[in-house]
Structure 1
Amino acid sequence: MNGDRPGWHRCLLGGALFAVAMAGTTLPTPLYPLYQEKLGFSELTVTVVYAVYAFGVIGVLLLAGNASDAVGRRPVLLWGLGFAAASAVCFLCATGLGWLFAGRLLSGLSAGLFTGAATAYVMELAPEGGAARATFVATAANMGGLGCGPLLAGLLAQYAPWPLYLPFAVHLVLVAAAALVLLRLPETVRELRPLRTVRPQRPALPPPVRPVFGPAAAASFVGFALFGVFTAVSPAFLAESLDLRDHAVSGLVVALAFFSSTAGQLAAGRVGVARSLPLGCAGLLAGLLLLAGALYADLLVLVVLSALVGGTGQGLAFRGALSAVAGASPGDRRAAVISTLFVVAYAGISVPVIGVGLLTGPLGLEGAGLVFIACMGALVSGAAGYLLRWPVRVKA
């Protein structure tokens, strides 16, 4: 019994490290309108600045997603914290667009390193027999950290001085504390290899995975695209269409989507991962329809409901997608297949968001949002229809 205590203590500390790193990736969200006022750029530029993050994540997943298996978890996570600190410094120095692009790219590199390595580290730090609880700790740390970023920045921007500086100064302090904690935690990889043995991971789809991968990837793409639009565009919509310029409220709306995703992933364990994928698709479709209603009627309550319902749907769908894809994959190809799913998911954060930015000029923010919703609704409806006709069987 006593042996369990330090194990769970270490597991929770690992989860805290994960949350600190992921919070930095969404910290600028409620601050984009302030950067627009300060630097004078368009909504398209906001979406491109935001999407640069996803390109950084995808690059790391493809080139070095398995690096921690060779060189160890702690060195990779220290590099991730270093990139997070460098990103915060870029935002503190942001006197032009170049600093914002650099900050977002470095943030993406940090998230790319943490996504796989921190998930594995949290699970390996747990006591024996605690895999299910450790998986939830990792999930909650990931999505909870993403939700805490805009919430923290929004509160500081609204109620404290120096709104474009204090959030990143606070995050720098948190990153430094996280690094000190990480240095006191043990390494969990037993057989370390030199960095030169790491090889880029190529996307892979073995034949048994292909029938499952299509609907799983579509649901993942739509879920992450919904998060992307909430994170990149919702502050501008709240300010321009609802005349709501409270940064704390703006940050809270975005945070609710991520917190709801954590709840959805937890609920997937109760409803069963086989049913969570179609239920998640239904939740995503409902969230999109609520967002369409919010854009059409300019109602804050519908924006909040969209975040809650769509976030829950994303959590259900993504946990179901991961389980379905992992269960259908051969053991020796599983990591490559899961990396491919993450690449598709992070493409959902970038490509549709840039599309919304491009359409904002000719159609306006509401019109661009409705086009986005129509496209994503068609995609997730197709996935749901496929799943109703050919249900996915998830292997234990």
Structure 2
Amino acid sequence: MSAGPSGFYGLGRTPSFWLLGYAFLMLFVGTTIPTPLYRVYQEELHFSSGVLTLIFAIYVLTLVPSLLAFGQISDRIGRRSVLLIGFSLAALAAITFASAQGLAALFLARAMQGVATGIVAGAGSAALAELEPSGNSRKASFVVTAANASGAALGPLFAGALAEYGPWPTRLPYLVLLVLMLPIVGLVGMRETVAKRRPLALEFRLPAVPAGIVKEFAFASAASFTVWASAAMYLTLAPGYVAMLLQLDNLAVGGVFVSLMLIASAAAQFLGRPLPFRTAMTAGLALLPLGLGSLILASPLHSAALLLVGTLVVGAGHGLGFLGAMVLVNKIAPETQRAEVTSSFYIVSYLGVALPAVAIGFGAQLVGLFAAVAIFSALVSLLAIVLLAASRRMVSVG
């Protein structure tokens, strides 16, 4: 046990680091539990695919203002108190989902998840970078991105299985999540990493990005936006697309394909750790058009194999692209503005989740699911190719 700057005794650096990593994992498990359940909600409450994607997107539409308001607060008052507020709100969101009886409750629970993630994202990423025992920012970046992808993969997997084969399909997954979140209470004893406090100032403003890192920051953010746009499609409409292609009405199968994409992402991040950030990002961007192309061809060819290949390739592209972007942001962010710069990065990344998801959801209403997925995939692939061309002109970061 050791004393942090606040004077309270708590966990040492290493236990604090890994407990916070676990907390991140559970946070992202919670955000993707609804994915295979959207079809159940849709059937029970009779809403369209456009409304479905709005429920998904309200997460980001509340997350971004939360980042704007809270992104720099932990730099002033410390990481621990901000993180405890964020994870408490995440638990309250799970309780709201578990007790939801109508559309309003679903929007409210999803909004609370967005605010919770916005509170935690910048402070948690900065804390992990500061708590890593050897000061290895690459390892801290890997823990953040792997917890993100692994947690997001586990959510649809166990939620789909519990909903298909267990009782209370729209409640049991959240009750299990709440049990898994119990160890997060230990963050009360987390080592505080902000030694010099400043007065609290809640400001609703864009987090600042220092002028000297704008070019590299813009490239990393654009790459992250692109890979998360492809992930957004899986997290909203993939279960329906899989059911249409395979002609299977099984919640677990839809959840499995979403999980496979995110498992491939986590595996790519693990295997890609030794790669330079530029190599990881460009490899991820190059894989996206290949994976999305396979996904589209799978439907007219009625090929489950192409669907599987496309899912794994998109996942690998997402993982490598996001890992490389996160490492670059951690490398260039000044120590005194790390949470603020990280929050700016997350704002752009999560806009890549929300805006395309809403567009493809309402597009599916207008032109049909297959056409909407095909058009969306073509646009994301084009953006990836443009960024690949731009990467050759990016200034190298030492």
- One-letter amino acid of the structure 2 residue matched with residue 189 of structure 1: V
2:134 match: secondary structure: coil
Question: Cα distance 1:286–1:254, how it changes in 2: closer, same or farther (>3 A)?
Answer: same
| TM-score, length basis structure 2 | 0.89
- One-letter amino acid of the structure 1 residue matched with residue 257 of structure 2: V
- For 1:67, the equivalent position in structure 2 comes to 73
Question: Cα distance 1:212–1:395, how it changes in 2: closer, same or farther (>3 A)?
Answer: closer
- For 1:355, the equivalent position in structure 2 comes to 359
Offset from partner CA, 1:219-238 (integer Å, 9 cap, x none): 22221111111001011112
Cα deviation for residue 185 of structure 1 reads 3.0
- For 1:202, the equivalent position in structure 2 comes to 206
Alignment partner of 1:271 is 2:278: no
- One-letter amino acid of the structure 1 residue matched with residue 282 of structure 2: P
Alignment partner of 1:40 is 2:46: yes
8 Å Cα contact 1:147-1:258 kept in structure 2: yes
Aligned residue pair count: 388
- One-letter amino acid of the structure 2 residue matched with residue 197 of structure 1: A
Question: Cα distance 1:307–1:67, how it changes in 2: closer, same or farther (>3 A)?
Answer: farther
1:157 to 163, 187, 205: 163
Question: Cα distance 1:181–1:304, how it changes in 2: closer, same or farther (>3 A)?
Answer: farther
- One-letter amino acid of the structure 1 residue matched with residue 144 of structure 2: A
Measure the CA separation in 2 of the matches of 1:201 and 1:307.
Answer: 37
229-238 vs 323-332, which deviates more? 323-332
8 Å Cα contact 1:261-1:315 kept in structure 2: yes
- One-letter amino acid of the structure 2 residue matched with residue 30 of structure 1: P
Offset from partner CA, 1:67-92 (integer Å, 9 cap, x none): 22222222212211221122112212
Cα deviation for residue 128 of structure 1 reads 3.4
**1:354-393 alignment runs, 5 A limit:** 354-388=358-392, 390=393, 392-393=394-395
- For 1:217, the equivalent position in structure 2 comes to 221
128-137 vs 368-377, which deviates more? 128-137
Question: Cα distance 1:220–1:126, how it changes in 2: closer, same or farther (>3 A)?
Answer: closer
Measure the CA separation in 2 of the matches of 1:222 and 1:330.
Answer: 25
21-30 vs 76-85, which deviates more? 76-85
Alignment partner of 1:344 is 2:342: no
8 Å Cα contact 1:65-1:201 kept in structure 2: no
**1:177-196 alignment runs, 5 A limit:** 177-194=182-199, 196=200
**Unmatched segments (≥5 aa) in structure 2:** 1-10
8 Å Cα contact 2:288-2:318 kept in structure 1: yes
Cα deviation for residue 32 of structure 1 reads 0.7
Cα deviation for residue 293 of structure 1 reads 1.7
Measure the CA separation in 2 of the matches of 1:349 and 1:87.
Answer: 20
Percent pairwise identity:
36
Question: Cα distance 1:14–1:336, how it changes in 2: closer, same or farther (>3 A)?
Answer: closer
- One-letter amino acid of the structure 2 residue matched with residue 225 of structure 1: A
8 Å Cα contact 2:36-2:159 kept in structure 1: yes
Measure the CA separation in 2 of the matches of 1:306 and 1:79.
Answer: 39
**Unmatched segments (≥5 aa) in structure 1:** none
- For 2:305, the equivalent position in structure 1 comes to 301
Measure the CA separation in 2 of the matches of 1:26 and 1:376.
Answer: 22
106-115 vs 236-245, which deviates more? 236-245
Alignment partner of 1:91 is 2:68: no
302-311 vs 90-99, which deviates more? 302-311
Offset from partner CA, 1:299-357 (integer Å, 9 cap, x none): 33333322221121122222323444555667766654443332221111111111111
- For 1:126, the equivalent position in structure 2 comes to 132
Measure the CA separation in 1 of the matches of 2:338 and 2:52.
Answer: 36
- One-letter amino acid of the structure 2 residue matched with residue 270 of structure 1: P
Cα deviation for residue 286 of structure 1 reads 1.5
Measure the CA separation in 2 of the matches of 1:170 and 1:162.
Answer: 12
- For 1:21, the equivalent position in structure 2 comes to 27
Cα deviation for residue 205 of structure 1 reads 5.4
8 Å Cα contact 2:127-2:193 kept in structure 1: yes
Cα deviation for residue 44 of structure 1 reads 0.9
Measure the CA separation in 1 of the matches of 2:185 and 2:338.
Answer: 33
Alignment partner of 1:395 is 2:394: no
8 Å Cα contact 2:289-2:384 kept in structure 1: yes
Measure the CA separation in 2 of the matches of 1:71 and 1:206.
Answer: 21
Cα deviation for residue 133 of structure 1 reads 3.3
**1:247-262 alignment runs, 5 A limit:** 247-262=251-266
Measure the CA separation in 1 of the matches of 2:90 and 2:332.
Answer: 35
